[in-house]
Amino acid sequence: MPLFNQEKPLFHSAMASHNGFKLYLDFDKRDRLKGLFYEGQGALLESFEALAKASEGTNFQELQSLKFDLGTSPGFFNLPLYLLKKSLETYRGKVPALYELKNEPESELLCRCFGIYKEELLETLDKNPEFGNKELTNATKAGAGCTSCLVNFQEVFAEFKSRQARALLEQ
């Protein structure tokens, strides 16, 4: 079975989607692409196949600067390259522009790479009280970029435990 094909992988490192098309990337520990998978139907499948073939055996840095001709791509922009860019941003993290950040003055921006606020982490923990650091990162992507916010996770967990204790006392 080829590593690059039109199917959904069981495990993947990053994913992006747009208008019914999905692109999945799977990297090894050395940031070398081990699989590029795509889902969708229509005229763009040939462009996704060209992207898969062109990216075979590349590493993360090479993928970021990948420039090649995917043939004619119907539509306003090249969807396969757009999804590749978005998948790479998801995998490595992207510092959002100020206009992309939510205007939440009551909540502290905790993860700048993914634009995750402290309140978002607490809400995720409220819904999933069994989560630890790893599960919280997997669910929100906070801490998956530069990892500098991981230090603040203990503060988030302490505040969550405090909220839980107050809720029990109020019952």
Boundary-marking domain end, from 92, 114, 142: 92
CATH number at residue 140: 1.10.10.1100
My answer on whether 18 and 86 are in the same domain is: yes
- Long-range contacts formed by 85-91: CB under 8 A, 24+ apart: 85/16, 86/16, 86/18, 86/23, 87/14, 87/15, 87/16, 87/23, 87/24, 87/25, 88/14, 88/25, 88/60, 88/63, 88/64, 90/14, 90/15, 90/16, 90/141, 91/13, 91/14, 91/25, 91/27, 91/60
Quote the domain boundaries for residue 117. Answer: 98-170
Please indicate, yes or no, whether residues 56 and 135 belong to a single structural domain of this protein.
no
List, for residues 20-37, the tens digit of each pLDDT value: 888 888 888 778 888 888
Residue after which a domain boundary falls, among 35, 59, 92: 92
Q: What is the pLDDT of residues 66-121, one digit of tens each?
A: 765 444 444 446 788 888 888 888 887 765 555 555 655 566 888 877 778 888 89
Q: Are residues 37 and 80 in the same domain?
A: yes
The verdict on pTM exceeding 0.85 is: no
- Model pLDDT for residues 128-171, shown as the tens digit of each residue: 988 888 888 888 888 877 777 888 888 888 888 888 888 888 87
Half-sphere exposure of 55 (CA within 13 A, CB side): 36
Are residues 102 and 63 part of one domain? no
Calculate the CA dihedral of residues 81, 30, 1, 23 and round it to 10 degrees. Answer: -30
Are both 70 and 111 inside the same structural domain? no
If asked whether residues 87 and 103 sit together in one domain, one would say no
Q: Which letter does DSSP use for residue 142 in this model?
A: T
Based on the domain organization, do 126 and 160 belong to the same domain? yes
**What size, in residues, is the chain?**
171
**Residues 27 and 69 occupy one common structural domain:** yes
Domain total of the chain:
2
